[in-house]
Structure 1
Amino acid sequence: MFKQILEWYWGENMIKKDTCEIYYYDEEKVNRIQGNLQTVDISSVAQMLKAIADKNRAKITYALCQDDELCVCDIANIIGVTVANASHHLRTLHKQGIVKFRKEGKLAFYSLDDEHIRQIMMIALALKKEVKINV
């Protein structure tokens, strides 16, 4: 009986691990991809995505996907924060090249710096609808 329990436990009914059970890697593949990593600026990409990863900055980015240009006061009201707080988030997004701004009199208007940012946001939203992301 004990042997049957062990076979059941270690057999098909055992929960599958999400890691390799042995250590083996494809040296050619690893070397090729490591070489490719040396040719791209992954650090800057990570910083850009990190900037958008903040909930309020993601809201700002999405809002700017909906309208080509918004003033700081509009953005503050849309995301429900003070103008000072919205300005802080916009400065972070600007430093990462996500948004650009222009002054018109006493108003500061922001827009997405590049169409690719809109595409990244819309793809991320579409992916979230299709795939349940475990958090």
Structure 2
Amino acid sequence: MTWRTAASATLHCLTGCAIGEVLGMVIGTTLGWSNGPTVVLAIVLAFFFGYALTTVGLRKADLGWREVVRLALAADTVSIIVMEIIDNGVMLVIPGAMDAGLASGLFWGALAFALLVAFLITTPINKWIIGKGKGHAVVHAYHH
């Protein structure tokens, strides 16, 4: 597999993760939650939206729900796990990022940086997984 394929798969994963991450961080911050519940919500939503994006594509390929769920889990789970560990870890280690308000450049800058770092670290992992015929490779045939 090429780096381009791995980057494309990672970008797909990043899109779902970013939607969930941003939504989770915004909800948790708006409600004044502490870091723990905010991160948990962001992770849950990242998995939800990551799998949802894959599910939509597979349903368009006229696959049944059982096959869609099996393929989505096989395609995205490792990538989402790695991405979530990295981007939440980065957010937690940047001083003040989690406590900055939604109007703060620190919050949004840290979140953008965290997602970029997650993309850069996850891409070579996805390349290796795809090269083994796993991960995003299991849904590649349905993307046309």
With structure 2 as the length reference, what TM-score do the two structures score?
A: 0.30
With structure 1 as the length reference, what TM-score do the two structures score?
A: 0.32
| Larger Cα-atom Rg | 1
Hey, which of these two has a bigger chunk of helix by percent? 2
Q: Larger relative contact order (C-alpha < 8 A, sep ≥ 6)? A: 2
